[in-house]
Amino acid sequence: MAEEKQDQPVRLADEMIGRVKLDYSRYPGEDFYCDGEVEDELLRIVRDFSAVEFARIIEEKKSWEILYHLSPLRENIVEWIPMDKDAKVLEVGSGCGAVTGALAKKAGSVTCVDLSRKRSLINAYRHSECGNVTIRVGNFRDIEPDLPGDYDYICLIGVFEYGRGYIGGKTPYSDFLRILLPHLKKDGRIIIAIENKYGMKYFAGCREDHLGSYFSGIENYEEDHGVRTFSRKGLERIFERCGVKEYHFYYPYPDYKFMTTLYSDAYLPGRGELTNNLRNFDRDRMLLFSESAAFNGVVEDGLFSVFSNSYLAVLGAGFECKYSKYSNDRAAEYSIRTEIGKDGSGRAYVRKYPLTEAAKSHIKGMAVAYENLLKKYEGGRLEVNRCRLVEQEELYAEFDFVEGIPLSQYMDLCLEEDDMEGFYKLFEEYLDRIGYNSNFEAADFDLIFSNILVKGDVWTLIDYEWTFGKPIDTKELAFRALYCYLLEDERRNKLNLDFVIDKLNISEEDAEKYREQERDFQKFVTGNRLSMSQMRDAIGHRFVTPQKWIERYGDFEAVNRVQIYEDRGQGFCEEESYFVRDAYTDGQTVELELAVDGNVHMLRIDPAFDCCMVKILELSFNGQRIPLDKRKLLQVNGRIIRPAERGEGNYLPSMVFPTRDPNIYLDLTMLQRRAENVLCARMEVIRLPLAMAQDMAGAVKKLI
């Protein structure tokens, strides 16, 4: 009995980190999974630094793991959910607490469950001021019987795909839900954030997030790896098997990890909106096609719900919010969220909320901007969307929901149809409308095409948060609109920007000044923080474009060929030539083993079909190394290569061919021939641009 007691793990005493309680009553005594040293580094960071310093540390570390666990953008996936202040939340698989803080700010209490003590410590230290957070450490199956049945929300953020590991059995995902459902209040909700196995990014060349392999989800997880994501239909089947009668799908974009925009079936993306797709923070990826262009087609055909990169499923009643856009990759004083929703009466609205205390002034400034712009465009042909400031339980600016199509979409249609006359007509109309009363002491610096909705003859400015109390030259505003328009989509590069700049009477010096001004403005908005695309570049994972490799391979096939000619006393002719298959062992090494009969007087080797430099590495005839010091034995396109210095008979020269028909001749009459002979050659062939080959050949001539 004594020995059995010794083998039992010693139960850790519960622990307080600040105001956060760690409950170890079901902790098995050791962590069964760990990401290694990075977790120790994360623990040091959250223990020794405040959250306001995380942005700086993320940029300094340039690490995917640090970015993934500490970026405040991770909270976006739940921050928009309108929880009551007394709501009870269960967060299963809370990990290092990427979303725990957002839940704690919104709810009355948050119970976290996670198997790892190390990760739970990280969570506790980073949220140590949250007195409404309890972290239960241990296996979910062991903790679940202790959980009450009155949660308003159960959150599975990046967790449901691990259902097999949590639950096991033949139907782990359905069983996972069946176990969770009794822990909800009658009108409670389960929130599931998960990747879509048919997400556009996977077709375009991103690796499967969990397995790191290409196309695993698309191929329906042929091998059982213990983790699995689902299509929308797949999730719906699971919900229905579990008796869930009401559920709603939302679509986080680019994905749920670093969501910037949330769509829904009531508010789907429009053409040209999905342009922020290159998000390979964690590993290299292929780039098989333009995801932006593919999404445009998907949006037009009503298939976005099939190809969205991620899903956020709400099991239970839906929300008023139908769309949410985050602008929290900015400086704190400009960090806001835009929401489109419908209230209980069915009235659509647009609201902008501050995400920080510092951003409240920015929100209040929008109401002032509305009044100023209303005066500026009074009597003109540009409507300004109405704004009113609401200061009740929370502060927000509310705008009317305006029907219409973004001006940018009309411009895109003109470019696609090569209707440049139509494009310039729209642009002239834009100039006329925004240029009204241009000397007024207020101007919206952000008069980009996508901020103007067109419905018939009515053009409405819907977003004017960057309004300044001074006049701004119309051509400066128009140049910025064009500049942003071109940056959003490379297919717009067919636009002749020089023509437009000439039309605006902008000099090259003016254009460069405006570009520099735009760079300064972006630094002003972001507070000199790196954007997510800049962070991706800093982390350093690559894009591999197979199309370029295919084209290059096809080019190699066309020019990296070796042709052999044999002269039996009648000269060379095409009919008596042949190609050597697979002579190139890699991109630039040629290996030959040629059977040559005794009647061949001269052998010609064409090592490529392009300008090149050739270095002969080995050359032998019937097993004997050919002595290249024999005069006239080796010729190059009729040019005799100078023999080696006396005593250096093994010297093998490099040759430069400023021609796309390089030839190397061997006079076999100078060698001991037999009835059947074997010539072996190995050479390095480096292709050169014509101009470079000509320059190098000129230098070689001086030595011949």
Q: Of the spans 183-192, 574-583, 612-621, which averages the highest pLDDT? A: 183-192
Give residue 552's pLDDT: 57
The DSSP annotation for 78-114 comes to HHTS---TT-EEEEES-TTTTTHHHHHHHSSEEEEEE
CA 594 from centre of chain: 50
Decide if pLDDT at 510 tops 80.
yes
Kindly state the greatest CA–CA separation across the chain: 103
Give residue 643's pLDDT: 47
The residue length of the chain stands at 704
Give residue 1's pLDDT: 42
Decide if pLDDT at 4 tops 50.
no
Decide if pLDDT at 489 tops 90.
no
Decide if pLDDT at 8 tops 70.
no
Contacts of 129 (CB under 8 A, 6+ apart): 18, 19
Give residue 298's pLDDT: 97
Beta strand extents in 200-283 (DSSP E only) = 247-253, 261-264
Between the CA atoms of 612, 616, 622 and 624, what dihedral angle is there, to the nearest 10 degrees? 170
The encoded tokens of residue 292 equal: 């932006």
Contact status, residue 312 vs residue 153, Cβ threshold 8 Å: no
Compute the distance between CA of residue 535 and CA of residue 520 in angstroms, rounded to an integer. Answer: 19
Residue reference for tokens 């066309």 = 558
Dihedral over Cα of 676, 681, 687, 688: its sign: negative
The DSSP annotation for 637-701 comes to TTEEPPPPPTT-TT---EEEE-SSS--EEEEGGGS---SEEEEEEEEEEEE--HHHHHHHHHHHH
HSE-CB at 686 with a 13 A cutoff on CA atoms is: 10
Between the CA atoms of 146, 151, 155 and 156, what dihedral angle is there, to the nearest 10 degrees? 40
Q: Of the spans 313-322, 547-556, 667-676, which averages the highest pLDDT? A: 313-322
Q: Taking phi first (over 0 means left), then psi (-120 to 50 degrees means alpha), and beta for anything else, what does residue 437 get? A: left
Look at 33-42, 65-74, 316-325 and tell me which has the smallest mean pLDDT: 33-42
Decide if pLDDT at 656 tops 60.
yes
Contact status, residue 74 vs residue 257, Cβ threshold 8 Å: yes
pLDDT tens by residue, 61-77:
999 999 999 999 999 99
Query: Within a 10 A sphere around the Cβ of 680, how many other Cβ atoms?
Result: 16
The SS3 assignment for 260 reads coil
Query: Within a 10 A sphere around the Cβ of 47, how many other Cβ atoms?
Result: 14
Compute the distance between CA of residue 22 and CA of residue 133 in angstroms, rounded to an integer. Answer: 9
Average pLDDT over residues 152-172: 93
Decide if pLDDT at 574 tops 80.
yes
Contacts of 550 (CB under 8 A, 6+ apart): none
Where helices occur in 417-542 by DSSP H, the ranges are: 420-434, 474-488, 497-503, 508-526, 532-539
Mean per-residue pLDDT over the chain, rounded: 91
Return residue ranges of the chain for CATH 1.10.510.
330-528
Where helices occur in 435-464 by DSSP H, the ranges are: none
Compute the distance between CA of residue 515 and CA of residue 596 in angstroms, rounded to an integer. Answer: 67
Query: Within a 10 A sphere around the Cβ of 141, how many other Cβ atoms?
Result: 12
pLDDT tens by residue, 89-123:
999 999 999 999 999 999 999 999 999 999 999 99
Confidence of residue 629 (pLDDT cuts 50, 70, 90): low
Decide if pLDDT at 647 tops 60.
no
Give residue 631's pLDDT: 65
Architecture of domain 330-528: Orthogonal Bundle (1.10)
> CATH assignment of 2-197+220-272+309-319, given 3.40.50.720, 1.10.1610.10, 3.40.50.150, 3.30.300.180?
3.40.50.150
Among residues 307, 301, 270, 306, the alpha carbon closest in space to that of 289 is found at 307
Burial degree of 288 (CB within 10 A; 0-12, 13-18, 19+): middle
For a pLDDT cut of 70, what percent of the chain falls above it?
93
Residue reference for tokens 């241009």 = 438
Give residue 700's pLDDT: 58
Where helices occur in 589-653 by DSSP H, the ranges are: none
Between the CA atoms of 401, 407, 412 and 415, what dihedral angle is there, to the nearest 10 degrees? 160
Average pLDDT over residues 388-394: 91
Confidence of residue 188 (pLDDT cuts 50, 70, 90): very high
For a pLDDT cut of 90, what percent of the chain falls above it?
72
Element (H, E) at 21: strand 20-23
Number of H helices, E strands in the chain: 23, 34
Compute the distance between CA of residue 655 and CA of residue 696 in angstroms, rounded to an integer. Answer: 10
Element (H, E) at 454: strand 452-455
pLDDT tens by residue, 270-308:
988 999 898 889 999 999 999 999 999 999 999 999 999
Average pLDDT over residues 162-168: 88
Cross-strand pairs, 342 = 348
Compute the distance between CA of residue 186 and CA of residue 410 in angstroms, rounded to an integer. Answer: 48
Give residue 635's pLDDT: 82
Please give the residue that has the higher pLDDT: either 503 or 518.
518
Give residue 639's pLDDT: 61
Give residue 393's pLDDT: 84
Q: Taking phi first (over 0 means left), then psi (-120 to 50 degrees means alpha), and beta for anything else, what does residue 608 get? A: beta
Return residue ranges of the chain for CATH 3.40.50.150.
2-197+220-272+309-319
Give residue 648's pLDDT: 45
Compute the distance between CA of residue 405 and CA of residue 283 in angstroms, rounded to an integer. Answer: 37
Decide if pLDDT at 382 tops 60.
yes
Query: Within a 10 A sphere around the Cβ of 703, how many other Cβ atoms?
Result: 8
Cross-strand pairs, 286 = 544
Start-to-end C-alpha separation, the chain: 95
CA 576 from centre of chain: 54
SS3 per residue for 136-170? EECCHHHHHHHCCCCEEEEEEECCHHHHHHHHCCC
pLDDT tens by residue, 398-449:
999 999 999 999 999 999 899 999 999 999 999 999 999 999 999 999 999 9
Compute the distance between CA of residue 67 and CA of residue 534 in angstroms, rounded to an integer. Answer: 12
Confidence of residue 341 (pLDDT cuts 50, 70, 90): very high
Among residues 330, 360, 458, 329, the alpha carbon closest in space to that of 400 is found at 458
Average pLDDT over residues 651-657: 75
Alpha carbon separation from 550 to 17, 215, 423, 547, 676 (Å, rounded): 56, 20, 36, 5, 40
The DSSP annotation for 400-442 comes to E----EEHHHHHHHHHHTT-HHHHHHHHHHHHHHHTTTTTSS-
Contact status, residue 361 vs residue 387, Cβ threshold 8 Å: no
Compute the distance between CA of residue 436 and CA of residue 371 in angstroms, rounded to an integer. Answer: 16
